[in-house]
Structure 1
């Protein structure tokens, strides 16, 4: 549903604040693509951009009673999205710094245990990321990485162009990197809690 006028937007905000899921859905559909575009521009990751859209609308729903107080909803969403992305990036950077600092302080035996845990966790995360890929991207990624076939060989086998293979591989790798970054950040936080006890 396209939001055409200030009146309809104001009305939707008031209805959503009262708990109307239909009004909230209209706001979601009216603004999700704009939030996604901003998040994609800031994160350069389709996976993270989708996560940002979900997080933003979840926050809005949790505090829905404050919606009628918002003067310019589009500007509010832009600022909220920008702040959310920057906070997430700062958090990931802090987590990485903590891990780096902790690695410097660890005796070598603990370090090898820690690295073994991280390696196992990375294998699991990589497996999850590959399983989430669309079918053709997954097939092309596995042919390239596990069977070590060249692009031309994959193209010939699947009867598609080499450029299509390149595009699918590029998208698969972007998704895997974004997913791994997100999941590894959570894992590192959990490991840090265990290791500093």
Structure 2
């Protein structure tokens, strides 16, 4: 008997709703690339895209009981993914804001201890200045890693260099940045450079 693609999808969703793991694997296979492309267009980060795709499908599996009632799974999937991606971006922004506030508060307390309350240290600006002083290739590797969130293998592919070269550039960049911060802010901030390695 002939089934339309919509009928096939409804049958597949009904099977997933009935705890069929094979059907869920098929659903994942049918939609994970589409979902990944959609999320990547929103957030422009491959590692975060992969994480969100996994989270969205986990959420779908956890709430699989409602799938039998879904009339258009693609639309449902996009709504769930968009909401999750936006929540993830908001959480990242909150985390960065808290991290910046914490660093600035620690620096303020350190400045008070040193009777330098009139000195305002803009941590982000100082770090950006230090990054600007890096040699071009080290700067590219550092920014792709820390600002774009790429893994070292991805950086090697993007820059057409070996993985060992990427590792060497990261070590040299981090060493330079730590020394630069230690020189310009003092030993107290040097204790904070672990933030580069989060």
Q: Please tell me the TM-score bracket, short chain as reference.
A: 0.5 to 0.7
Alpha-carbon separation, structure 1, partners of 2:93 and 2:169: 35
Q: How many residues align?
A: 132
- Once the two structures are TM-superposed, the CA of residue 142 in structure 1 deviates from its matched residue by 2.6
**2:165 aligned residue (143, 155, 164):** 143
| Structure 1: gaps spanning 5 or more residues | 110-114, 116-124, 149-183, 188-197
- Once the two structures are TM-superposed, the CA of residue 144 in structure 1 deviates from its matched residue by 4.8
Alpha-carbon separation, structure 2, partners of 1:71 and 1:48: 29
| Structure 2: gaps spanning 5 or more residues | 112-122, 124-144, 171-194
Q: In 2 relative to 1, CA 63–147 (structure 1 residues): closer, same or farther, beyond 3 Å? A: closer
Partner of 1:46: 46
Q: Does 1:76 align with 2:79?
A: no
Cα root mean square deviation, aligned:
3.3
Partner of 2:7: 7
Within 5 Å, give how 1:1-197 maps onto structure 2: 5-106=5-106, 107-108=109-110, 129-130=151-152, 133=153, 137=157, 140-144=162-166, 146=168
Q: Describe the superposition over 1:13-46 as per-residue Cα deviations: whole angstroms up to 9, x where unpaired.
A: 1110111011111111111111011011111122
Alpha-carbon separation, structure 2, partners of 1:39 and 1:48: 9
Alpha-carbon separation, structure 1, partners of 2:32 and 2:166: 34
Partner of 1:178: none
- Once the two structures are TM-superposed, the CA of residue 4 in structure 1 deviates from its matched residue by 6.0
TM-score, normalised by the number of residues in structure 2:
0.57
Alpha-carbon separation, structure 1, partners of 2:85 and 2:58: 15
Q: In 2 relative to 1, CA 22–4 (structure 1 residues): closer, same or farther, beyond 3 Å? A: farther
Q: In 2 relative to 1, CA 55–4 (structure 1 residues): closer, same or farther, beyond 3 Å? A: farther
Higher relative contact order, structure no. (Cα contacts within 8 Å, ≥ 6 residues apart) = 1
Partner of 1:157: none
TM-score, normalised by the number of residues in structure 1:
0.57
